[in-house]
Amino acid sequence: MGNRNSTDKVKRNPSINKTNNRSHIKKEFEPTLPSTLPTSPTSPTSSNEEKETLKYYLPNDNNDIDRQHAHHFIKRYLFQSYFSAPIVIGEGVKVLDVACGAGTWLLDLANEYKDSIFYGLDIAPVFPAEIKPENLTFIKEDIFNGLPFPDNTFDFVHMETMAYILTPEKWHYAISELIRVTKPEGYMELSEAYYNKNEGFGPIYIKLAEAICKSSLQRGVDLKFTDQLESVLRSRQTITNVDIDEKVVIIGPNGGKVGTIFMDLYIQFCSTDSAVEGLCPYLNMSKDEYKEFIFKDYRNEICQSKNAKLYMVRYWAQKVNNN
């Protein structure tokens, strides 16, 4: 999660469902909460060393797959929709999810919209290989080899939760690739989260967040880059109608069931074996001290906090039609 200062202003969209006179078909529901292009010569490369360091941020065991599923369902509940871009999902519409992970977002959509065509792409094949809807195809591929699709292929392109993975250079490349494969007048959407350490967070959380930021910077990943996503999108001449949809969550029991689930998901994320290995040096703690820090100190602090805010943001834009 990125970190914004209290003085930063966030644009809120007062009419998210009306853009260019196109109706936004969003599934309104009350879901149950869960207890062939060559590689671009300018594309960033991923060395073996980089792939090794990404293990912390790309775990693929069963526990993390469960966490990905839960994260999808809680976000869907929070936004009351699968996405916020004003795209009409209907017969023949083609949708791509980049870095799809376990594929939960796509599995939901493919079952809901059986006349549409869905593709998921990820470097780690943790998505289902066989048991999936017929209108859904998963591809094992690295986006930094270039997306394996021609220009102007998809009506809607989606990517989320990449803040812990992408360097600024790779963010710019990934956005260029998403735009390239989107059809003219089609939509792309990014979904990320950020927090403001001055809004309800105590010293334990701030200490943990700063350690994560430092460990990320060692890989060239700046977690604050997500603060710039809206301006980065607005700077692109090939897209227009840039907008955002934002929801606020109070982390912990004072945020109700939603806040408690987000707290538990964050604890799970920070307590994997690779997270323990990666963060202990930055916190100057042994593994046992770190586990007590996460499961006791951090949990207790968040449970007592009344206003620890997490901002979930969807950034979307429409590709320009130059014809």
Give the separation between CA 180 and CA 157, rounded to whole angstroms: 10
Give the separation between CA 262 and CA 258, rounded to whole angstroms: 6
Give, to the nearest 10 degrees, the angle between helix 273-283 and helix 203-217: 100
The closest of 323, 319, 320, 314 to 26, measured between CA atoms, is: 314
Cα 179 off chain centre by: 17
- For residue 2, the model assigns a pLDDT of 55
- For residue 283, the model assigns a pLDDT of 96
Tens of each residue's pLDDT in the chain, 323 residues = 555 543 333 333 333 333 333 333 333 333 344 443 333 334 554 444 444 444 434 444 566 777 788 888 989 999 999 999 999 999 999 999 999 999 999 999 999 999 999 999 999 888 988 889 999 999 999 999 999 999 999 999 999 999 989 999 999 999 999 999 999 999 999 999 988 777 788 999 999 999 999 999 999 999 999 999 999 999 999 999 999 999 999 999 999 999 999 999 999 989 888 889 999 999 999 999 999 999 999 999 999 998 899 999 999 999 999 87
- For residue 26, the model assigns a pLDDT of 34
CATH fold for domain 62-319 = Rossmann fold (3.40.50)
Give, to the nearest 10 degrees, the angle between helix 104-112 and helix 62-79: 50
Residues paired with 316 in a beta bridge:
189, 243
**What's the pTM?**
0.81
- Sequence spans of domains, the chain: 62-319
Give the separation between CA 229 and CA 240, rounded to whole angstroms: 14
Give the separation between CA 188 and CA 28, rounded to whole angstroms: 21
DSSP, res 226: G
- For residue 68, the model assigns a pLDDT of 81
